[in-house]
Amino acid sequence: MSLAQAQNQAEIGQFRAERQDEDIFVSAQIQFELPSAVEDALLKGIPMYFLTEVEILRDRWYWYDKKVATTQRSIRLAYQPLTRMWRLNVTQGASAVGSQGLTLNQSFETLGQALAVIKRISRWKVAEAADLDGGVKHRVDFRFKLDLSQLPRPFQIGALGQTGWDISANLVAPLILESSK
C-alpha cells in the first residue's frame, strides 16, 4: 500500500454501542484526512456526501444472519464562496439520501470545524431495544464512506479508480451493550 493510499483510508478510532431506556445508541470517532482532490472540488463549489450506515444482525448458524435494524445518515458538506462559510446538512432516516427524514443544517467558518462534526458521531439512535432478541448473539456492521454516487457525473467518471477519492471505513463487531445511566 502506498503512502497516498494509507493517508486516505479512514479508521474508526473509538466505537461504542449502549442501551439507554428502550433504545440502542452508537457513538464513534472516525479518523481520516481529506485528500487534496476532494478539498479542491469542495473549494470549487462541488458538495461532497458522506454516508454512515449501521446494520444490526442476529447471528444464525443455519441460514444467513437476520437483519434486525438498519439505519443511515447522510452528511452533505459544501463550501459557499459568497459567504466563505462551510455548510453541513445532516439527514437521518431509513434511506437518508433523498429522504424526507430529519435534517439538521449548520454553518461553520472553517473546513476543520465542519470536518470535526463529520468525524464524531455521538449517541446516534440506531435501533430500539425491543427489536433485539434476548439471549441471542448480535453483531453490528458500521460503515462510513465518501459517497461518490452523489457527485456530478463528470466527477464520478474521473474519480473512478483513483485512490484520492476513496475515503471509507468498516467495522464489524459483536454487539455488547453497555447500559448508560
Per residue in 50-88, pLDDT tens?
A: 999 999 988 877 888 888 889 999 999 999 999 999 999
Nearest CA among 71, 104, 107, 108 for reference residue 90: 104
Q: Is residue 181 part of a domain?
A: no
Q: Which residues pair with 172 in a beta bridge?
A: 141
Q: Is residue 77 part of a domain?
A: yes
Give the chain's domain count: 1
Q: Residue 116 has what pLDDT?
A: 96
Would you say residue 3 has pLDDT above 50?
A: no
The model's confidence at residue 154, banded by pLDDT at 50, 70 and 90, is: low
Q: Give burial (CB, 10 Å; 0-12/13-18/19+) of 49.
A: buried
Pairing of strands 66-80, 48-58: antiparallel
Q: Is residue 61 part of a domain?
A: yes
Would you say residue 7 has pLDDT above 50?
A: no
Residue 112 corresponds to which cell in the numbers above?
476543520
The CA-based angle 118-124-127, given to 5 degrees, is 140
Nearest CA among 111, 105, 119, 106 for reference residue 84: 111
Would you say residue 49 has pLDDT above 90?
A: yes
Q: Residue 141 has what pLDDT?
A: 94
Q: Give burial (CB, 10 Å; 0-12/13-18/19+) of 110.
A: exposed
Q: Is residue 180 part of a domain?
A: no
Domain of residue 91: give its range: 3-175
